[in-house]
């Protein structure tokens, strides 16, 4: 079975690599030092199992796991951590396995065996049960068959049209299939609804103008503007005055 090791500390990755090398039925196909790399490599190598550290820079393991399951055939995930905190109780209660550092060979074999028996749909369901509902720091989109991560701070707005949502960001735009309402609830601290079909990121907004077509939000470094509906105008005005 193919495995990807994800940990921001090279000694930890090296240790797991050595241990897995002693197990004939498993093969390490790639290593990553943060969650963002893990998402990219998972799409590239299509592993059966990902050994995923929890606390990492750029993107932590919990968020990475959520994005990894956007793959057509998501792998099973085993969390690794140096901290025996309350989160481990949740993992254990929902049969999502974890490894406590420093990892022991017997415990690794047990976890790999357990994950191997768990089909990928079950793995996804159980991970969702333990709280992959934390606010994400990235949006994941599928572009030409590959997963693309867009940092929230790089997004100007979300625009919904039929079943797709356009994500306008500093590098262009992509389409995702997530309900605008769900995005509004999750990102309510940084995005505001200005229309039934649009959310804008507050710290990307330069102001609001009124012209013959109504009120429009504009941005400092792109030419795009977004219409503000009459229904949302009073609330948007109040928010902008507070910025």
For 25, list phi and psi in degrees, rounded to 5.
Answer: -85, 0
> pLDDT, tens digit, for every residue of 18-77?
999 999 899 999 999 999 999 999 988 999 999 999 889 989 888 888 888 777 778 888
For 129, list phi and psi in degrees, rounded to 5.
Answer: -65, -30
Whether residue 159 sits in one domain with residue 99: no
Domain that holds residue 119: 2-129
The answer on pLDDT for 95 being more than 60 is no
Whether pTM > 0.85 for this model: the answer is no
Whether residue 143 sits in one domain with residue 121: no
Whether residue 117 sits in one domain with residue 45: yes
Whether residue 117 sits in one domain with residue 13: yes
Whether residue 220 sits in one domain with residue 143: yes
> pLDDT, tens digit, for every residue of 208-239?
999 888 999 999 899 999 999 999 999 999 99
**Any alpha helices (H) in 94-197, and if so which ranges?**
105-117, 120-129, 180-186
Select from 129, 153, 181 the last residue of a domain. Answer: 129
């Amino acid at each position: 079975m193919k495995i990807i090791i994800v940990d921001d500390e090279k000694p930890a990755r090296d240790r797991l690599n050595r241990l897995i090398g002693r197990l004939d039925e498993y093969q390490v196909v790639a290593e990553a030092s943060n969650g963002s790399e893990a998402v990219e490599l998972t799409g590239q190598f299509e592993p059966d199992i990902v050994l995923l550290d929890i606390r990492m820079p750029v993107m932590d393991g919990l968020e990475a796991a959520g994005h990894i399951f956007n793959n057509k055939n998501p792998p099973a995930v085993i969390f690794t951590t140096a901290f025996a905190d309350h989160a481990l109780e949740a993992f254990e209660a929902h049969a999502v396995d974890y490894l406590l550092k420093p990892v022991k060979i017997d415990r690794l074999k047990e976890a790999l065996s357990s994950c191997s028996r768990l089909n990928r749909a079950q793995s996804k369901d159980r991970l969702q049960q333990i709280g992959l509902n934390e606010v994400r720091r990235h949006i994941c989109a599928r572009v030409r068959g590959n997963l693309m991560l867009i940092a929230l701070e790089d997004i100007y707005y979300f625009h919904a049209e039929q079943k797709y949502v356009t994500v306008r960001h500093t590098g262009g735009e992509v389409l995702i299939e997530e309900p605008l309402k769900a995005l509004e609830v999750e990102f309510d601290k940084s995005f505001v609804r200005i229309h039934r079909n649009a959310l804008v990121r507050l710290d990307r907004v330069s102001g609001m103008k009124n012209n013959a077509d109504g009120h429009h939000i504009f941005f400092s470094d792109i030419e795009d503007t977004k219409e503000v509906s009459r229904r949302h105008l009073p609330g948007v005005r109040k928010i902008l005055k507070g910025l």
